[in-house]
Structure formats: structure tokens, C-alpha cells
């Protein structure tokens, strides 16, 4: 993947991640919208019999749950956590096609923040989380794992990647064979494809337990800053189209972009896919919480 001329992505800070995880906890404990016949998971931290992981002791914890060996090793009280109730396997799909690289890769940076925040919050709740980065094919993968140490692996992958600047198309269907077993899938993309990836989303919905689609949009993309006649070049396919820069052309481009979003939203509503269109001018925390609230209300 190209790395030379794009700015390195920056992940949300630890306080930002902790704040979001706290706000989103109740929205992520239970399963989001489910496809007909789907199954729920069966693991999260709570009261149970099987050991899950460790955390620092907090006032009110039962003394019998203290792990004395870990306490001696770390020189502070450490308690065991146990499995109970329901958690799930989640896979995050992150679009690294060339359309995500335009405008200084602003959409990519925004999507990386969402992927990091979702991973962090889900892992805190005991979910298993994996990451697939795709273009024409799956470009990178972090297999599903559990625990806060796994966030470090996802973060390293996110920080190591950039979208390819030209020639990389969006082929969401390439991820399908990597989705082993029932899982919740959370897709981050601008969905700039011939059919807004509706066919691939429909096929994906049949393979997973529940499906989220978050469209990453940038209003500045539809504003032509040049004057006169010129050719527009599709960064993914290299197709050329003559254009004339004017306010009318900008307005028509905005209308067509809105129409694409409307088609995608309607398809997702019919197919049981939790969908949100996010303009990156809106802070990612607000957009992601809004998406999770809407998804939960529709499940």
C-alpha cells in the first residue's frame, strides 16, 4: 500500500477511548440488529465459572476473586474476571480503496478513528474483535482476538496502513471468505462503487449474524475548485469524464452523491442492515454513538 505522500493516521487518545467505551458500554453489551435465524454469542465478563481475564481490584470486589499470584507479581491487588451472559465475535471491515485517499486521506483518518474506538470498547466488554482492511482484495488482516492486549495489535495495524492513492477499487465481497463462523460485521467505507456495494452488502448479510454499514462522507469532495473545462479521473478505475467547473456542476455533484446515499440507505433498511451516513465534519464520538443508539432501537 502507498505510504510516501499520505499523512500518518493518528489514533484517538487513551482518555478519548476510555470516555467513548464508557458511553457505549450499554449499547454494545447485547447484540445489535440480527438477521432472521441468527444466533447470539455467549461470552462476556461477569459472574460465572470460567476464568476470563484479570483487572485491577476496585472497592466492592469480592476478596475471593483476588488472584494472589498476580497480586504478588504486580504488587497491587488484582482480581479475576469470569465469563457470563452474552458477547459476540465482531469483525471490522475498513475500506482502503483509492477513493479513501483523496483530500489528504481525510476519510481514511476518520474511519481509522472509528475502527480504533470500536475495537477498544468491544474488547473492554469481552467481545472478540478482528479487523480486515480491503480494497480490490483483502490487503491486511488482524484475526479475531480478545482482551485489551489485542487492542495493541489492532492499533499497530491501523497505524501501519494507508489507502492506495490510485488504482485500488472497493470490492467488499473480497472479505466474505474471511468471515469464519457467525459474527457481527461493522463496515467502514465511503461506498463509492457502481451500485454503492449493495450487492456485496446483501451477500454479506446472509453470512453474518448482524451487519453494520457506516458510510464515511466528505462534503468537500463534490466541490470543484478549478476553473474551466477539464477531465475528471476516477482514482479507482482511471476512467475519465469531461467536466466544467461551475456552481451548477458542484450542485449537481452534491445531488448525485446524496442520491447514492439515499439508494444505499433504502437498501439497508429493507435488508436489516444498520446504516449511518457520517459526514466527517461531525466528531466521530457523536456519529458513532448515534449509530449505535439507532441500531439498538431497531433490533
Quickly state the pLDDT bin for 35 (edges 50, 70, 90).
very low
18 and 66 share one domain: no
193 and 67 share one domain: no
Quickly state the pLDDT bin for 245 (edges 50, 70, 90).
low
If residue 89 lies in a helix (H) or strand (E), which one and from where to where?
strand 89-95
Quickly state the pLDDT bin for 234 (edges 50, 70, 90).
low
Residue 243 lies in a domain: yes
Q: Residue 22 phi/psi, 5° resolution?
A: -65, -45
Instruction: Give the C-alpha separation, 94 to 138, whole Å.
Output: 10
| Residue 204's CATH number | 3.40.50.410
Q: What is the pLDDT of residues 125-140, one digit of tens each?
A: 989 999 999 999 999 9
Q: Which of 22, 57, 83 is the last residue of a domain?
A: 83
Instruction: Give the C-alpha separation, 119 to 268, whole Å.
Output: 23
Q: What are the grid coordinates assigned to 147, written together?
A: 482482551
Q: How much is the mean pLDDT over the chain?
A: 82
If residue 139 lies in a helix (H) or strand (E), which one and from where to where?
strand 138-145
DSSP bridge partners of 241: 232
Select from 275, 227, 283, 217 the least CA-distant residue to 250: 227
- The boundaries of the domain holding residue 152 are 14-37+87-297
193 and 207 share one domain: yes
Q: Indicate the Cα dihedral angle 255, 258, 263, 269, nearest 10°.
A: -150
**C-alpha triplet 289, 294, 296: angle, nearest 5°:** 95
| Residue 48 in this model has a pLDDT that exceeds 50 | no
| Residue 43 in this model has a pLDDT that exceeds 90 | no
Q: Indicate the Cα dihedral angle 199, 95, 281, 166, nearest 10°.
A: -110
Number of CB atoms found within 10 A of residue 128's CB: 20
Q: Which of 83, 110, 144 is the last residue of a domain?
A: 83
Average pLDDT (38-56) is: 51
Q: What is the pLDDT of residues 162-172, one digit of tens each?
A: 998 888 999 99
pTM: predicted TM-score of the whole model, two decimal places:
0.76
Say if CB 185 and CB 118 are below 8 A apart: no
33 and 49 share one domain: no
Average pLDDT (222-237) is: 57
CA-based end-to-end distance of the chain: 37
Amino acid at each position: 500500500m502507498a505510504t510516501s505522500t499520505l499523512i500518518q493516521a493518528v489514533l484517538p487518545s487513551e482518555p478519548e477511548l476510555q470516555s467513548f467505551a464508557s458511553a457505549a458500554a450499554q449499547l454494545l453489551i447485547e447484540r445489535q440488529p440480527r438477521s432472521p435465524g441468527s444466533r447470539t454469542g455467549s461470552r462476556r465478563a461477569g459472574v460465572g465459572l470460567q476464568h476470563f481475564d484479570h483487572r485491577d481490584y476496585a472497592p466492592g470486589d469480592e476478596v475471593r476473586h483476588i488472584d494472589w499470584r498476580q497480586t504478588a507479581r504486580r504488587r497491587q491487588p488484582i482480581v479475576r474476571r469470569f465469563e457470563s451472559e452474552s458477547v459476540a465475535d465482531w469483525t471490522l471491515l475498513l475500506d482502503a480503496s483509492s477513493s479513501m485517499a483523496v483530500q489528504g486521506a481525510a476519510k481514511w483518518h476518520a474511519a481509522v478513528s472509528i475502527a480504533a474506538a470500536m475495537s477498544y470498547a468491544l474488547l473492554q466488554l469481552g467481545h472478540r474483535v478482528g479487523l480486515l482492511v480491503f480494497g480490490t482484495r483483502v490487503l491486511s488482516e488482524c484475526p479475531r482476538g480478545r482482551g485489551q492486549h489485542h487492542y495493541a495489535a489492532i492499533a499497530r495495524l491501523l497505524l501501519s496502513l494507508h489507502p492506495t492513492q490510485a488504482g485500488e477499487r472497493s470490492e467488499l465481497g473480497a472479505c466474505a471468505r474471511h468471515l469464519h463462523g457467525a459474527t457481527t460485521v461493522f463496515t467502514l467505507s465511503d461506498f463509492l462503487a457502481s451500485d454503492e456495494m449493495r450487492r456485496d452488502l446483501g451477500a454479506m448479510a446472509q453470512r453474518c449474524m448482524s451487519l453494520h454499514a457506516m458510510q464515511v462522507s466528505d462534503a468537500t469532495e463534490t466541490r470543484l475548485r478549478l476553473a474551466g473545462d477539464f477531465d475528471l479521473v476516477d482514482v479507482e478505475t482511471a476512467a475519465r469524464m469531461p467536466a466544467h467547473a461551475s456552481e451548477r456542476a458542484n450542485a449537481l455533484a452534491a445531488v448525485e452523491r446524496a442520491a447514492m446515499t439515499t439508494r444505499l440507505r433504502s437498501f439497508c433498511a429493507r435488508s436489516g442492515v444498520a446504516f449511518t451516513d457520517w459526514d466527517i465534519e461531525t466528531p466521530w464520538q457523536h456519529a458513532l454513538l448515534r449509530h449505535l443508539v439507532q441500531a439498538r432501537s431497531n433490533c
